[in-house]
Amino acid sequence: MNILVVGNAHERLAGAKTYGFERKLFNGFVRNGHNVQFFSDRDVARNGTIFGSSRAGRGVANRKFLEFVRNFAPELIVFVYSSLIASDTFEAARRLCPGLRLAQVCMDPLWRPVCLEFVRDRVSVVDATFVTTGGPALAQFAKNRNRSSYLPNPVDASIDVGRGFARSDQRYDVFWAARAGKGDYPEDPRVVFALHLAASGQVEVDYHGIGDRPQLFSHAFFVRLNDCRMGLNLNSDRLVGAAAPAPADERRLYNSDRIAQIVGCGLLAISTRANGIGELFEEGREMVFADTKEELLETVLRYKCDDAARRRVAEAGWRKGHEQFNERLTARYIEDVTFERPLSHAYAWPTRLW
């Protein structure tokens, strides 16, 4: 079928971000045999005005989107946090293409008000909503025709090409790349954990995007990641300055796409237990866990000393990621749910619909 993926292609970054969620879904739909096109709402908006502003070009993006729909005649449109296309415009797309199905994907945490309001606004026009958070938090989106479900971050073998478990010659023990700066609150693990490892003098840590170190993008991201044996999978859990984390049901299973990059490239993934990712990856067999900086250091040193165990667990996680959480299965699941079909596969993630 004809499928249109709407998202941010980051054309202005000239190849620095070509491995995002929407790119992997695009690949998955293509590999499942569909005719797929990509509409980058932000790039069209920026290119549509002399100011190079996506906000100023919003109207241009909406007009061009409908023109694209009219010419391409998609049967399914999947939009990945495409904030510039108005809900009314999606309704207009339905009128242009009778039988068209619409699905939205949110890969950001629901405890951020801007993300929550965006998803809520779109449930009035979509057939299905997919979120990288699972569980009862999705019940609030039950409205009209919409059906909501959890969707994992996909692993893509054409992007996540590393085989960290097959090597022992990496320069660093641990990789960590974030956009955390000084942290959202004192003792933010996204900052404290990596610095604690580095300060120990016992672990070689390659970290980016915390403190004064810049963020890491582009091909360099994967070069540095693949020169490490283990990778930290840490996620923000509250608004800046908040005294306590967001409610547990708003964080269940939430992970950024970093989890797919670490597992997909065969590093030993180290996560905290807070978000329940252990529901998807078995502790000690496919992934390891640490909830404090002290437990993290102990865990890293244990697997640094026992490289065979590090490689064994990393390979098990890599196999599960590539076999059960790949871009083809996540794309197929979107199709199954959005078209209200019986599930075509025994998916390895929660498939309850809300």
pLDDT for the residue 243: 84
pLDDT grade, residue 241 (50/70/90)? confident
Q: Which residue has the tokens 């059906």?
A: 147
Q: What DSSP string describes 148-196? A: EEE-PPPB-TTT----GGG-S--SEEEEEEEEEET-SSTT-HHHHHHHH
**pLDDT at residue 81 is higher than 90:** no
Domain 164-324 in CATH 3.30.499.10: no
pLDDT for the residue 211: 85
Say if residues 299 and 288 touch (Cβ distance below 8 Å): yes
pLDDT grade, residue 17 (50/70/90)? confident
**pLDDT at residue 51 is higher than 80:** no
pLDDT for the residue 249: 92
Q: What is the mean pLDDT of the chain?
A: 94
* pTM for this entry: 0.95
pLDDT for the residue 352: 97
Q: Which residue has the tokens 């865990």?
A: 299
Compute how many other C-beta atoms are within 10 angstroms of the C-beta atom of residue 57.
23
> If you average pLDDT over residues 146-174, what whole number do you get?
98
> If you average pLDDT over residues 328-352, what whole number do you get?
98
pLDDT for the residue 144: 86
**pLDDT at residue 44 is higher than 80:** yes
- Please name the fold of domain 2-154+326-338: Rossmann fold (3.40.50)
Say if residues 72 and 2 touch (Cβ distance below 8 Å): yes
Q: Which residues of 253-279 are buried (b: 16+ CB within 10 A; e: fewer)?
A: bbbbbbbbbbbbbbbbbbbbebbbbbe
CA distances from 260 to 26, 152, 181, 223, 233 (A): 16, 9, 22, 16, 10
Say how far apart CA 44 and CA 63 lie, in whole Å.
Answer: 10
Q: Which amino acid is it at 139?
A: A
pLDDT for the residue 53: 81
Domain ranges of the chain: 2-154+326-338, 164-324
pLDDT grade, residue 41 (50/70/90)? very high
Say how far apart CA 6 and CA 66 lie, in whole Å.
Answer: 12
pLDDT grade, residue 253 (50/70/90)? very high
